[in-house]
Amino acid sequence: MKSIYEQALGDTYQLLHPKLQERYRLTGDAVFAGAGRMEEISGGSIAVRAMMMLGIPARLFFPERGRNIPFVIHNKVSRDAKGQETVHWDRTFDFRGKKRHFDAVMKWDGEEEQILDLFGKPALLGSSLSLHVDDKGAMHINSRSQWLPLFGMRIPLPRVFHGAAQIVESYDEDRQCFRIRVHVRNPLFGTLFAYKGSFTGTRKDGSGGSRNEA
């Protein structure tokens, strides 16, 4: 079965760096576990960062910023109530012993043929995503429409309230690691948060086998 990322990219999935192809082949019982460091986590005014404190209980946002921050990432696949595959993205950042989380789930929207990204536990924010591969084999993910999930409905957010996200994940052959860059910007408040770093990890499939991805 194809992963939601293979469905989104179609034939262009084969243009991804081979390490990224393996990493994003998240379907069935596949699990990816990685660890690394963020060179820098930045962005957000004092007011914006104060508001982000409200997201801590839902593992959504956090106000801390810094350099050389250890983090771990864990991806797994489950099925929702409709039997649809859902990919979990659980990220934990360690600010000198203080753990902060940025969690989400992604699923495939067959009607619109796009990936949906739901942030927080429980989900407090939703976004549709567009994906493409650049000429160096890196994965680019950009947010599109955004909404509030409420009682099974989507309450659209005006663009003035969007946190427009740009994500680039690549593979560094020289250092044998994945590299990640994330930038989230709002039309009114500018950069809400941004981070860049690197990590290595291992993908395991349902048979118990594992692959050292970096």
Q: What is the pLDDT of residues 64-105, one digit of tens each?
A: 999 999 999 999 999 988 889 999 999 999 999 999 999 999
Q: Model confidence at 119, in pLDDT bands (50, 70, 90)?
A: very high
For residue 23, which of 207, 168, 204, 208 has the smallest C-alpha distance? 204
- Could you tell me which CATH number the domain at 4-206 has? 2.40.128
Largest CA distance in the chain: 49
Is 70 exceeded by the pLDDT of residue 213?
no
pLDDT confidence bin for 214, thresholds 50/70/90: low
Q: Which two tokens stand for residue 43?
A: 């962005």
| Cβ contacts of 93 within 8 Å, gap of 6 or more | 38, 41, 62, 64, 69, 70, 71, 99, 100, 101, 102
The structure tokens listed for 16 are 């991804």
Q: pLDDT grade, residue 200 (50/70/90)?
A: very high
Return the number of other C-beta atoms located less than 10 Å from residue 123's C-beta. Answer: 17
- What number of CA atoms fall less than 13 Å from residue 111's CA on the CB side? 2
Sign, CA dihedral 9-14-19-25, equals positive
What are the residue boundaries of the structural domains of the chain, listed by start?
Answer: 4-206
Q: 33 is written with which tokens?
A: 């576990």
Both tokens of 60, joined, read: 């959504």
Burial class (CB in 10 A: 0-12, 13-18, 19+), 58: middle
